[in-house]
Structure 1
Amino acid sequence: MSQRTSIRLSELAICISLFEVGSTTLFFIGGEAKQDAWLAMLVGALAGLFVLLMHLSIHHQEPLLDLFLLFRRYMGKYLGTFVNLLFVGYFSYEASRNLRDFGEITVMTLLNQTSLWIIMLIVILVVSNSIRYGYRVMFLMCVIFFPIVLVSYALISILIPVTGLFHFEFMFPVLESGWKPVLNAALPEIVSFPFGQTVLFLVFYPYARTGKGLNRAVIISYVLTALSLTFINQLNIFVLGPKIALYSTLPLLETVQLIDLAEVFERLDALFTLLLFLGLGVKMGAFFNGAVIGLEKITGISYKKWVAPVAILTFGLAFLSPNYTHHIVTGRRIVLNYLFPVFQILLPLLLLIIILIRKRTKQD
């Protein structure tokens, strides 16, 4: 692997962080737990950490093989190819959901007179153009975006308490209804989104420049990002209260719109919208990359030739829901609970079991 195509561990850690943030701040995660949403986030993050450790265990069994080559080797040519095609479909669908979110947010916040399909077409063309240059470009772009995202979220987190919007009492009473609402909110929904989506990085781990320290870099990035997301998510509670935050379409955007400090820091909703665009773009690009790389590994045809077909597929899938409400309900009620765990947990677990059995059989 050449230096120009390999990934530094710092770049990998940064990309995982931005990927996890992605579209997460668009929603109020764990809202069913009300003021205990922070506990639901922590429970989901802890469960997601075990899922991540499983993914890393799979990688270290065969560090030179990515997700698609692993399934091909250990499940055979035909079954392995079938599972790989399912993963390509999964990655494309994830990208399409981010594309739809991008379009809907743009219509709601900036361009309410512009057709949704035009916005989404422009976005998919821009993302597709960057994908043509390979996964390395995506990781370098994450390095450029990371300081912007870090400073911006830090600024928002500081300004909310400074401007008197912070109401710590909204967190109480803790565990008013016990652990059941917390666990129901966390499992499997919060595991599926955003923490279980790290299954995508089984495609990219083999491209890391060195295996030394990979676990440490990935886990530290994951833990710090999970804690940050938990705090940012809880800002919705601190400002809006659990009831308003639960039924708000864009809760954190409404929270940021309330910031007004000495007529200097105001209209920060534009900054937050930019952050959402960056997050959605990174996440969409990562899933798009995963789908294109998968098709290249399945067919042997250059990834550049698959960019246009995957772009068309992603664009088409983004219109599966007739409206934004249906899009959100489908995502939060169905795919997070029943579809995504299959790709994030069940299939990787099956793969790990098969790998361990095959290796033990060879040793015997």
Structure 2
Amino acid sequence: MNQNITRVSELIICLVLFEVGSTTLFLLGGEAKQDAWLAVLIGALLGLFLLLLHLAIHRQNPSLDLFLLFRRYMGKYLGTCINLMFVGYFTYETSRNLRDLGELTVMTLLNQTPMWIIILITILVISNNVRYGPEIFFLICVVLFPFMLFTYMVIGILIPASGLIHYDFMFPILENGLKPVLKTAIPDIVSFPFGQTVLFLVFYPLATKGRNLSRAVIISYIVVALFLTLFNQLNILVLGPKIAANSTLPLLETVQLIQLAEVFERMDALFIMILFLGLGIKMTAFFNGAVIGLERITGVRSKKWILPLGAIILGLSFLSPNYTYHMEIGRVVAVKYWWPIFQFVLPLLLFVIMLIRKPKKK
């Protein structure tokens, strides 16, 4: 894979859309009730420290991606083992987003269509995108960015304009103290969505040199964190903390309530469209990370891994017998026990070893 094949701006746009991705599909920090906004901000702040760790790793050796870094600093055998674990992580995340898209489609648009058909068509489309490499994927993100930005802006304006906001749902603040907020934020919100930026250690070396990549990444991360906090809190302010926490698709229910001058109605169709795009972007990013990892491990070109890995992703998406079990594994088990290993433990170990093995300047 060639180095320096994309602009920093393209990489940043991809990072923004990746972070938003499927996040608006769920309510973050629902257990904190009206203090969900505090939980998201705390999770974003801790996620920023993870991002700084990832950027520090990249700055130590900007020409190597995540897989090459582990191979170089951890040795051939241990490095390969860890790389295979990261490939598994990226592959499973792709399958989870694939299942989310299938469930969303059945619940909102095609309730008479078998889910396996929806998922099969989706994985074929995503696989075709991955076939052209990350540089084309970044360009697609650039094309989709204005549309998604405009749509979220319209929704963000129409919700308060429709008189749906009830600010009393925010109070009392910290009714049960700070403990429930911290318990919700750590590690759940840190792991999803903020810790997932570890994937971009695969993509940072692709950016052209001579630009301040770290600064651009940090600024975009902060903007996205504030955006997600705002939209997450809109669910609480419109539906109330109890209804929002128990809703399967809280922001969709909020958008369905928009009625303004008998002109702006049925905004849910537009919102579902950008949800599909967000899920597709997240799937493609993780899929790209997985095939690049297999290329690094085996030396076989990434294109040859797309078909077998796509079949594995298709199979993994059907592991959960129903949506409730799917959510239980993803939002309870994975974010608490599995993902922190890949997002924090292994990167921190890598960074420490890099510092130890760094040659001293004369």
Bucket of the pairwise TM-score, normalised by the shorter protein: over 0.9
CA distance in 1, matches of 2:193, 2:167: 26
Contact 2:43–2:189, Cα closer than 8 Å, also in 1 = yes
Closer, same or farther: CA 2–69 of 1 in aligned 2, 3 Å: closer
Contact 2:199–2:289, Cα closer than 8 Å, also in 1 = yes
Contact 2:8–2:211, Cα closer than 8 Å, also in 1 = no
1:61 deviation in Å? 0.4
1:359 deviation in Å? 1.1
CA distance in 1, matches of 2:136, 2:2: 15
Letter in 1 for 2:325: H
Letter in 2 for 1:173: P
Letter in 1 for 2:184: A
1:211 deviation in Å? 5.0
- Matched with 1:207 is 206
Letter in 2 for 1:284: M
Closer, same or farther: CA 317–188 of 1 in aligned 2, 3 Å: same
CA distance in 2, matches of 1:184, 1:211: 41
- Matched with 2:250 is 251
CA distance in 2, matches of 1:355, 1:205: 17
Letter in 2 for 1:182: V
1:137-194 Cα distance to aligned partner (Å, 9 max, x none): 1100110111111111111111011111011111111111111011001000000000
- Matched with 2:18 is 19
1:2 deviation in Å? 6.7
What TM-score results when the alignment is normalised by the length of structure 2?
0.98
- Superposition CA RMSD, Å: 1.2
Number of equivalenced pairs: 362
CA distance in 1, matches of 2:220, 2:5: 19
Other structure's SS at 1:166 match: coil
CA distance in 2, matches of 1:333, 1:216: 33
What TM-score results when the alignment is normalised by the length of structure 1?
0.98
Unaligned 5+ residue runs, structure 1?
none
Letter in 2 for 1:273: I
1:309 deviation in Å? 1.1
Contact 2:29–2:36, Cα closer than 8 Å, also in 1 = yes
CA distance in 2, matches of 1:104, 1:212: 41
CA distance in 1, matches of 2:149, 2:102: 24
CA distance in 1, matches of 2:52, 2:260: 43
CA distance in 2, matches of 1:223, 1:353: 26
1:26-54 Cα distance to aligned partner (Å, 9 max, x none): 00000000000000000000000000000
| Residue 233 in structure 1 maps to residue 193 in structure 2 | no
1:81 deviation in Å? 0.5
CA distance in 2, matches of 1:95, 1:211: 32
- Matched with 1:111 is 110
- Matched with 1:339 is 338
Query: Which structure 1 residue ranges, 4+ long, deviate > 4 Å from structure 2?
Result: none
- Matched with 1:35 is 34
- Matched with 1:161 is 160
CA distance in 2, matches of 1:108, 1:126: 21
1:185-224 Cα distance to aligned partner (Å, 9 max, x none): 1000000000000000000000111153101110011000
1:122 deviation in Å? 0.2
1:313 deviation in Å? 1.1
CA distance in 2, matches of 1:261, 1:92: 43
Identical aligned pairs, as a percentage? 69
- Matched with 1:152 is 151
